[in-house]
Amino acid sequence: MLHTISGFDRIGEENAFAVLARATALSAAGKDIINLGIGQPDFRTPDHIVEAAIKALRDGHHGYTPATGLLATREAVARRTLTTTGVEISPESIVILPGGKPTMYAAIVMFGEAGAEILYPDPGFPIYRSMIEYTGATPVPVPVREENGFAFSADETLSLITDRTRLLILNSPANPTGGVTPRAEIEKLVKGLADHPDVAILSDDIYDVMTYDGEEHCSLLTFPELRDRLIVLNGWSKTWAMTGWRMGWSIWPDQLYDKIRKLAVNCWSCVNAPSQFAGIAAIDGPQDDVEAMMAAFDRRRRVVVEGLNALPGVTCATPKGAFYAFPNISGTGWKAKKLASALLEETGVALIGGPDFGILGEGYLRLSYANSEENIRQALARMDGFLRSSA
Ligand code: PLP
């Protein structure tokens, strides 16, 4: 009998990967699958980024880099941060990590332990809660509600802070809802946080430039009063269609920088060098592929929302960011996970049940519209047929 630490008995999962595995198995068995489950752009990484990685390999960049990342990559991130937020950040505050998730891991294990409380969005990215539980800390869900546009409510968030709260996790634009928290609400939250100076903030900004209809991501970096306790998670995965490259960055306050540097040395040493050169090309190179991808997401978003609202018993608010729709299915009479599973098995449409994103996810499905317009229309037609025949 092996005795692993109890944290591993509490660790959860991201069900999108299980759905992907099931969809792949069904597809291998000959079933026609349309995958609206996994949250990754269906575009290739732009060619000039791929070329930069190939060149780096040919140029002999085969060794370790500094644990916090190449200075040139961190400088590129600083330039990009200045462009998107107007805020100047020193490369000495930036860390390059193997994806966005490692920042989540680092921040949560830095603050989580038995007796501590960590606030996280519900519905929200499932790994927040999983990692909080792994550390033994108490996960405290912050509701993000449909009637509030799936935005954070400053008042409700602040009301959940206790003297045991160590970390508050925010995410806007959000997975799974596509919600974007408006600047006014963030300002109110920041004001209230002044009364809680011992609470650190992890802002998951992985979808920061993925907004629609003139909506804007309000960066917490624009509030200097938070800088000494703010960790910003970001990365290349979504914006430049680079999920498989495992490239992320984060911005850390001075007082935590050496801690994250040491964790990097202990856990992953560094991110592979060619990817870091690719990351520079992504930031400094032409952005037309990103713009074309966003235009495609925007078109699909409209198709998805219109199609979902036409389904019996389904309503869907228009998502303001990311590439997910989060339809309310409470009028169908189905439990969300049962419906998600039935849709996959019966119609070949892969999507995720809302409860995989939290307690408040019951009554919802998550569809990723990172798929072709044609496939999205086909999926909606299959869902329509299924819901009408099962009513
Ligand atoms: N944060 C959110 C909100 C996400 O949706 C995801 C990926 O789905 C991540 C972080 C992780 O990104 P990465 O693939 O770069 O680890």
Ligand 1 mutation target, pool 172, 175, 236, most atoms within 8 A of CB: 175
The residues spanned by each domain of the chain are: 7-44+288-390, 63-284
Specify the residue for token string 């060149």.
55
> CATH number for the 7-44+288-390 domain, one of 2.130.10.10, 3.40.50.720, 3.60.15.10, 3.90.1150.10?
3.90.1150.10
Strands 117-122 and 138-143, by their bridges, are parallel
pLDDT at 391: 73
pLDDT at 69: 98
Identify residue 146 by its one-letter amino acid code.
E
- pLDDT (tens digit per residue) in 76-135: 999 999 999 999 999 999 999 999 999 999 999 999 999 999 999 999 999 999 999 999
Ligand 1 mutation target, pool 40, 237, 240, most atoms within 8 A of CB: 237
User: Which DSSP state fits 123?
Assistant: S
In 3D space, the residue among 304, 341, 306, 307 whose CA is nearest the CA of residue 323 turns out to be 304
User: Which DSSP state fits 347?
Assistant: I
pTM tops 0.80, yes or no: yes
Q: What is the ipTM for the molecules in this complex?
A: 0.99
- pLDDT (tens digit per residue) in 10-58: 999 888 888 989 999 999 999 999 999 988 888 999 999 999 999 999 9
How many Cβ atoms are within 10 Å of 356's Cβ, its own excluded?
Answer: 22
Is 176 a pocket residue for ligand 1 (Cβ < 6 Å)? no
In 3D space, the residue among 44, 141, 103, 67 whose CA is nearest the CA of residue 233 turns out to be 103
Alpha carbon distance 249, 89 (integer Å): 13
Token reading at 205:
């900004």
CATH placement of domain 63-284: 3.40.640.10
How many Cβ atoms are within 10 Å of 13's Cβ, its own excluded?
Answer: 11
CB 193 within 8 A of CB 226: yes
- pLDDT (tens digit per residue) in 256-265: 999 999 999 9
